[in-house]
Amino acid sequence: MLLITCPVTRTDELVAQRRIRSVANHPTHVAVTVECPACGGEHVLRTGRRWEAARARVLARAAARTAARTAAQATTRAAAQASAADAARAARVGVPA
Protein backbone atom coordinates (compact mmCIF):
# COMPACT_ATOMS: atom_id res chain seq x y z
CA MET A 1 0.00 0.00 0.00
CA LEU A 2 1.14 3.52 -0.83
CA LEU A 3 -0.17 6.77 0.58
CA ILE A 4 -0.37 9.40 -2.16
CA THR A 5 -1.87 12.85 -2.49
CA CYS A 6 -4.06 13.03 -5.58
CA PRO A 7 -3.11 16.18 -7.53
CA VAL A 8 -6.66 16.42 -8.91
CA THR A 9 -8.71 16.16 -5.70
CA ARG A 10 -5.92 17.14 -3.25
CA THR A 11 -6.90 14.29 -0.94
CA ASP A 12 -4.69 11.64 0.62
CA GLU A 13 -5.45 8.21 -0.80
CA LEU A 14 -4.26 4.71 -0.03
CA VAL A 15 -3.24 2.89 -3.20
CA ALA A 16 -3.11 -0.90 -3.32
CA GLN A 17 -0.16 -2.68 -4.93
CA ARG A 18 -2.34 -3.93 -7.76
CA ARG A 19 -2.85 -0.28 -8.85
CA ILE A 20 0.88 0.26 -9.42
CA ARG A 21 1.32 0.40 -13.20
CA SER A 22 5.08 0.84 -13.53
CA VAL A 23 8.26 1.60 -11.62
CA ALA A 24 11.20 3.28 -13.35
CA ASN A 25 14.62 3.81 -11.82
CA HIS A 26 16.23 7.01 -13.14
CA PRO A 27 19.66 8.44 -12.20
CA THR A 28 18.06 11.23 -10.15
CA HIS A 29 14.86 9.62 -8.89
CA VAL A 30 12.51 6.65 -8.85
CA ALA A 31 9.26 7.18 -10.74
CA VAL A 32 6.18 5.14 -9.82
CA THR A 33 3.06 5.32 -11.98
CA VAL A 34 -0.11 4.50 -10.06
CA GLU A 35 -3.81 4.43 -10.85
CA CYS A 36 -5.53 6.83 -8.46
CA PRO A 37 -8.56 5.46 -6.59
CA ALA A 38 -9.95 8.99 -6.08
CA CYS A 39 -10.07 10.31 -9.65
CA GLY A 40 -9.31 7.20 -11.72
CA GLY A 41 -6.39 8.87 -13.49
CA GLU A 42 -2.78 7.78 -13.58
CA HIS A 43 -0.25 9.81 -11.63
CA VAL A 44 3.54 9.65 -11.71
CA LEU A 45 5.11 9.93 -8.28
CA ARG A 46 8.80 10.69 -8.03
CA THR A 47 11.08 10.37 -5.05
CA GLY A 48 14.77 10.70 -4.34
CA ARG A 49 17.29 13.05 -2.78
CA ARG A 50 18.69 14.31 -6.05
CA TRP A 51 15.19 14.75 -7.49
CA GLU A 52 14.18 16.90 -4.51
CA ALA A 53 17.39 18.95 -4.74
CA ALA A 54 16.90 19.55 -8.47
CA ARG A 55 13.24 20.43 -7.91
CA ALA A 56 14.21 22.89 -5.15
CA ARG A 57 16.67 24.59 -7.52
CA VAL A 58 14.01 24.93 -10.22
CA LEU A 59 11.52 26.38 -7.73
CA ALA A 60 14.12 28.83 -6.43
CA ARG A 61 14.89 30.03 -9.97
CA ALA A 62 11.19 30.46 -10.70
CA ALA A 63 10.71 32.44 -7.48
CA ALA A 64 13.65 34.70 -8.35
CA ARG A 65 12.25 35.30 -11.84
CA THR A 66 8.84 36.13 -10.43
CA ALA A 67 10.34 38.53 -7.88
CA ALA A 68 12.37 40.28 -10.58
CA ARG A 69 9.33 40.55 -12.85
CA THR A 70 7.22 41.95 -10.00
CA ALA A 71 9.91 44.52 -9.15
CA ALA A 72 10.16 45.61 -12.78
CA GLN A 73 6.38 45.98 -13.03
CA ALA A 74 6.32 48.02 -9.81
CA THR A 75 9.07 50.30 -11.14
CA THR A 76 7.22 50.78 -14.44
CA ARG A 77 3.97 51.45 -12.61
CA ALA A 78 5.65 54.00 -10.31
CA ALA A 79 7.22 55.79 -13.29
CA ALA A 80 3.85 55.96 -15.06
CA GLN A 81 2.19 57.35 -11.94
CA ALA A 82 4.95 59.92 -11.51
CA SER A 83 4.65 61.13 -15.11
CA ALA A 84 0.86 61.35 -14.76
CA ALA A 85 1.29 63.34 -11.56
CA ASP A 86 3.79 65.66 -13.28
CA ALA A 87 1.36 66.24 -16.15
CA ALA A 88 -1.49 66.98 -13.74
CA ARG A 89 0.70 69.39 -11.77
CA ALA A 90 1.78 71.14 -14.98
CA ALA A 91 -1.88 71.49 -16.05
CA ARG A 92 -2.81 73.00 -12.70
CA VAL A 93 -0.11 75.69 -12.82
CA GLY A 94 -0.55 76.38 -16.52
CA VAL A 95 2.82 75.10 -17.74
CA PRO A 96 2.70 73.30 -21.10
CA ALA A 97 3.75 69.68 -20.83
Does some domain include residue 22?
Answer: yes
> Do 2 and 32 belong together in one domain?
yes
Does some domain include residue 96?
Answer: no
For residue 81, what pLDDT is reported?
76
Does some domain include residue 16?
Answer: yes
Per-residue model confidence as pLDDT tens digits over 30-46: 999 999 999 999 999 98
Provide the residue range defining the domain that includes 1: 1-47
Number of separate domains in the chain: 2
Distance of CA 52 to the CA centre of its chain: 15
Per-residue model confidence as pLDDT tens digits over 77-90: 777 777 777 777 77
> Do 2 and 43 belong together in one domain?
yes
> Do 5 and 41 belong together in one domain?
yes
> Do 63 and 27 belong together in one domain?
no
- How far is Cα 7 from Cα 16, in angstroms, rounded to an integer? 18
> Do 3 and 42 belong together in one domain?
yes
